[in-house]
Amino acid sequence: MWTILLSVLATLLVAFVAMNLMSGEKRIQEQLERLYDTGDPQFRRSMSVLLGPPMLEGNRVQALLNGEQIFPAMLGAIQGARESITFETFIYWSGDIGDRFAEALAERSRAGVKVHVLLDWVGTMKMEERYLKQMHDAGVEVERYHKPHWSHLARLNQRTHRKLLVVDGRVGFTGGVGIADEWDGHAQDEKHWRDTHFRVEGPVVAQMQAVFTDNWIKATGRVLHGERYFPALGPADGQPAQMFSSSPTGGSESMHLMYLMAITAARHTIHLSSSYFVPDDLAVQALADAARRGVKVRIITPGPLIDADTVRRASRARWGPLLEAGVEMAEYQPTMFHCKVLVVDSLLVSVGSTNFDNRSFRLNDEANLNVLDTAFAQRLVDVFEADWARSRPVTLEAWRGRPLQEKLIEHAAALLRTQL
């Protein structure tokens, strides 16, 4: 009897693990054919049609560097809210920054603003319960995404990694920053991380709100709609932009497809800032092919100061074909490098929550903002150059010459790349 029971339990455990390790959807299996470059109108049409929402004219996107610029802008927008606040984030940890956001959100709720907060359960495990109580007591609607429950045991490995703040349906924020003291300051030492976030105005903010609403419905079954959340939005500036999302429950390949499309269409340059860079075979091939056809490809990843050393080791194991093709790799030295920015041909900028790894491409709920604007792209290239100056390049010779023990550890870590 006990043998049968143990066998059943073991079978259930294996099934549970298998369900959480697989995305459940077909993957892109072949390299994309290069039919156009980023300057071709067909590139913009393809991005709009294949990724879902259309590219909208009339937006203004501002880059914010590090916590000293990011947090005042976000908190200022929250404090100025009059109708609604929708806020979704992966990391929310206890500390001074967590205190300030909880108080700002609670104060606006007490003032009559409709405040909705969606927090990932795994990403907020370092968050004290007092924050939830403080917001809940003030009338904030707070939900924990995929908190363990028998009804969704098969989805416990699928997290919301999206980072979205929308105020009054008119101003949006997205990028890489989490709500924690590690992001405060200006990346001045190893305790203060380097990151970039973005403030957005214009018609594309409605798409950002729709992305939040997508997960809010999944978590609560409630629909947010009406002018309070989706007011009429006129042009704020002249930047074409598009906000799109991906999720294992629908469109899990959207992020992967976007990166492959952008890299395949590149004609001159690719600047990639990636906090967790563990590319799959198709992405490695796309980047290597771009370099071989004359595109200058440069990639910044974290150096030794990283919060997930296994990711860094798995990343370095994948660099051989890239370095052999002429891709330039460099590791950021001063502190943890948490940026997630792709700039192609000094024209396309893609920013948001997405890391260049399988977890972001196929397991997490992610959201990215695409902007087609040469002036904005050049601003991000300048930021990239400043980061490159604080990074250590890794040559093919140095990569090949690393100690055998290091190689073995890195290749062992790379075996886990489907979950990183």
- 406's tokens: 């290091």
User: At 78, which helix (H) or strand (E)?
Assistant: helix 66-79
195 is annotated as an active-site residue: no
110 phi and psi, to 5 degrees?
Answer: -65, -25
User: At 109, which helix (H) or strand (E)?
Assistant: helix 96-110
Q: Quick one: CA dihedral 26, 32, 38, 43, positive or negative?
A: negative
Indicate the length of the chain as a whole number. 420
161 is annotated as an active-site residue: yes
In the set 161, 192, 197, 218, the catalytic residue is 161
In the set 116, 146, 163, 271, the catalytic residue is 163
Mark 270-307 as b/e (b = at least 16 C-beta within 10 Å): bbbbbbbbbbbebbbbbbbbbbeeebebbbbbbbebbe
99 is annotated as an active-site residue: no
114 is annotated as an active-site residue: no
Given the structure tokens 């703040």, which residue do they identify? 165
Q: Quick one: CA dihedral 26, 27, 31, 33, positive or negative?
A: positive
In the set 340, 365, 373, 387, the catalytic residue is 340
116 is annotated as an active-site residue: no
In the set 120, 168, 365, 373, the catalytic residue is 168
Largest CA distance in the chain: 71
DSSP summary character for residue 296: E
> Contact, 314 vs 306, CB < 8 A?
no
DSSP for 328-379, written as a single string: EEEEE-SS-B--EEEEETTTEEEEES--EEHIIIIISBEEEEEEE-HHHHHH
CB atoms within 10 A of CB 158: 23
In the set 338, 357, 365, 373, the catalytic residue is 338
In terms of C-beta distances under 8 Å and separation of at least 24 residues, what long-range contacts does 33-40 make, across chains too?
A: 33/264, 34/264, 34/265, 36/265, 37/265, 37/266, 37/267, 37/345, 38/262, 38/265, 38/266, 38/267, 38/344, 38/345, 38/347, 38/348, 39/267, 39/345, 39/347, 40/265
In the set 120, 184, 280, 345, the catalytic residue is 345
256 is annotated as an active-site residue: no
Active site residues: 161, 163, 168, 338, 340, 345
